[in-house]
């Protein structure tokens, strides 16, 4: 019978188990220490005091604004086109100078029509002959010397010949290009002796007095805008001058992409100072006064999901100083923090903007340094340099 030997070495299987257990303990200890250190690091950075941001601030004020509508648009000619030719041909005459003021029907360009005119003379001779034959055969038919059918055939030939004359005369007339309406000519685009195809542009013609101003307004203004309302327009090309007109048309459909609708005003332009294609600003009063809360436009953070401001408030308790920490040299007194608040904005006047909802008069808002702010951030107000906040700014022309 075999006996148990107490001095026998452990089996290989048991050694492997012990090695795996010890290895697991070592790796577990390493990962545990690393996790603890990461937790401590994150906690340190989360609670690390942030230095206060230096900003400028302004107080929201209540003002009385005239209920006015402002918009931007483009000047458009009442009648404006590129004068073209309907028929091909060689230009034989140019009867205008660039920039001329022409009346409706004035001859601008004459194409060579010698072949068409010769054909017209031939057709006119044929028409006269068929007309004479038609008259003679009608008289003979009344005397029963020829059949009525023959007389009707001669009459039909005369009508056909006259129609051919009219068609050829229209073809000759198309060789003469006339001004379709009264206006001012632009730069000539063709030369004498040049062959032009149908549809070729010869010169631009624009009617300048009166002139249209097409501009857009948000859909909220649709109930307030009416035809006949007086408007005032300004253009950058003529600073300091204002042009008056009236609203003559309102587009009945609102653009589903922009939620804006188009308005057309007609402006007087006797000296042709306004030109089609020019950018213009338009404004007009609705006849009532409003009490509005206004702040500088630089205080607004414009975002697709909503506009917001940073309202400057006092920290609720002294603990805020300990949590945020005041750096050495910071001004004494209560700790100032900012709270982000969403607002609804309205009309603008120069550098100011009206806040229709979300802000009260007397509240202080940050006007610069918005990019470095976050909710509950500590701030220091330094108003030695302030953004402009004028209702009617007049910047110097440098």
For residue 9, what pLDDT is reported? 53
In words, the CATH class of domain 88-205 is mainly beta
Mean pLDDT of 101-129: 86
Mean pLDDT of 230-239: 89
**CA 9, 10, 13, 17: dihedral to nearest 10 degrees?**
-130
Supply the mean pLDDT for the chain. 83
Nearest residue to 339 (alpha-carbon basis) of 362, 358, 318: 358
* Contact criterion met (CB below 8 Å) for 72 and 282: yes
* Contact criterion met (CB below 8 Å) for 235 and 280: yes
At 47, the pLDDT band (50, 70, 90 cuts) reads low
Q: Please say if the pLDDT value at position 339 is more than 70.
A: yes
Angstrom distance (rounded) from CA 203 to CA 201: 6
* Contact criterion met (CB below 8 Å) for 378 and 337: yes
Angstrom distance (rounded) from CA 86 to CA 336: 76
Question: What does the pLDDT look like over 357-394, one tens digit per residue?
Answer: 889 999 999 998 888 888 888 888 888 877 776 666 66
Q: 3-class secondary structure for 376-395?
A: CCEEEECCCCCCCCCCCCCC
For residue 59, what pLDDT is reported? 92
Angstrom distance (rounded) from CA 135 to CA 93: 42
Q: Please say if the pLDDT value at position 37 is more than 80.
A: yes
Angstrom distance (rounded) from CA 126 to CA 132: 10
For residue 395, what pLDDT is reported? 61
In words, the CATH class of domain 53-65+291-381 is mainly beta
Angstrom distance (rounded) from CA 60 to CA 387: 15
Question: What does the pLDDT look like over 208-226, one tens digit per residue?
Answer: 989 999 999 888 888 888 8
Number of Cα atoms under 13 Å in the Cβ half of residue 328? 0
Mean pLDDT of 60-81: 86
Q: Please say if the pLDDT value at position 324 is more than 60.
A: no
* Contact criterion met (CB below 8 Å) for 361 and 60: yes
Q: Please say if the pLDDT value at position 4 is more than 90.
A: no
Rg (CA), the chain: 43
In the chain, domain spans: 53-65+291-381, 70-78+207-289, 88-205
Question: What does the pLDDT look like over 120-137, one tens digit per residue?
Answer: 888 888 888 888 877 777
Angstrom distance (rounded) from CA 349 to CA 296: 10
Dihedral sign of CA atoms 22, 23, 25, 29 in order: positive
The proportion of the chain whose per-residue pLDDT surpasses 90, expressed as a percent, equals: 24
Question: What does the pLDDT look like over 306-317, one tens digit per residue?
Answer: 899 999 998 865
In words, the CATH class of domain 70-78+207-289 is mainly beta
Mean pLDDT of 104-129: 85
Angstrom distance (rounded) from CA 244 to CA 44: 66
At 169, the pLDDT band (50, 70, 90 cuts) reads confident
Beta bridge partners of 94: 109
Mean pLDDT of 37-42: 79
Q: Are strands 230-235 and 53-55 parallel, antiparallel or unpaired?
A: unpaired
For residue 16, what pLDDT is reported? 84
For residue 69, what pLDDT is reported? 78
For residue 331, what pLDDT is reported? 53
Q: φ, ψ for residue 322 (rounded to 5)?
A: -70, -40
Q: Please say if the pLDDT value at position 323 is more than 50.
A: no
Out of 139-148, 231-240, 352-361, least confident range: 139-148
For residue 322, what pLDDT is reported? 46
Helix axes 114-142, 148-173, angle to 10 degrees: 160
* Contact criterion met (CB below 8 Å) for 66 and 285: yes
* Contact criterion met (CB below 8 Å) for 70 and 348: yes
Residue 380's Cβ-count burial label (10 Å; 0-12, 13-18, 19+) is: middle
At 329, the pLDDT band (50, 70, 90 cuts) reads very low
Q: Please say if the pLDDT value at position 272 is more than 80.
A: yes
């Amino acid at each position: 019978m075999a006996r148990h030997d107490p001095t026998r070495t452990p089996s290989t299987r048991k050694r492997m188990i012990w090695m795996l257990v010890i290895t697991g303990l070592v790796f577990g200890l390493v990962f545990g220490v690393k996790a603890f250190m990461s937790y401590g690091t994150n906690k340190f950075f989360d609670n690390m005091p942030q230095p206060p941001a230096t900003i400028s601030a302004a107080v929201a004020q209540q003002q009385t604004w005239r209920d006015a509508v402002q918009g931007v648009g483009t000047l458009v000619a009442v009648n404006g086109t590129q004068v073209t030719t309907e028929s091909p041909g060689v230009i034989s005459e140019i009867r205008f100078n660039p920039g001329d003021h022409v009346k409706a029907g004035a001859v601008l360009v004459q194409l060579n029509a010698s072949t068409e005119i010769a054909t017209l003379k031939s057709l006119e001779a044929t028409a006269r002959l068929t007309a004479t034959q038609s008259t003679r055969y009608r008289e003979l038919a009344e005397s029963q010397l020829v059949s009525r059918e023959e007389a009707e055939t001669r009459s039909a030939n005369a009508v056909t010949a006259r129609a051919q004359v009219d068609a050829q005369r229209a073809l000759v007339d198309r060789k003469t290009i006339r001004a379709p309406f009264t206006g001012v000519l632009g730069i000539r685009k063709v030369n004498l002796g040049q062959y032009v195809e149908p549809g070729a542009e010869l010169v631009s013609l624009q009617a300048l007095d009166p002139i249209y101003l097409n501009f857009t307004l948000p859909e909220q203004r649709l109930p307030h805008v009416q035809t006949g309302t007086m408007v005032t327009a300004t253009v950058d090309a003529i600073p300091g001058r204002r042009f008056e007109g009236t609203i003559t048309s309102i587009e009945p459909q609102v653009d589903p992409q922009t939620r804006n609708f188009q308005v057309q005003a007609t402006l007087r332009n006797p000296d042709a100072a306004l030109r089609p294609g020019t950018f213009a600003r338009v404004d007009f009063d609705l006849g009532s006064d409003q009490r509005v809360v206004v702040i500088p436009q630089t205080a607004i953070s414009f975002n697709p999901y909503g506009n917001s401001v940073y309202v400057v408030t006092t920290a609720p308790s002294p603990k805020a100083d300990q949590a945020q920490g005041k750096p050495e040299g910071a001004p004494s007194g209560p700790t100032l923090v900012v709270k982000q608040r969403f607002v609804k904005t309205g009309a603008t006047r120069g550098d100011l903007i009206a806040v229709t909802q979300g802000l009260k008069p007397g509240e202080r808002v940050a006007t610069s340094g918005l990019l470095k702010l976050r909710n509950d951030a500590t701030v220091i107000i330094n108003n030695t340099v302030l953004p402009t906040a004028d209702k009617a700014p007049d910047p110097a022309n440098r």
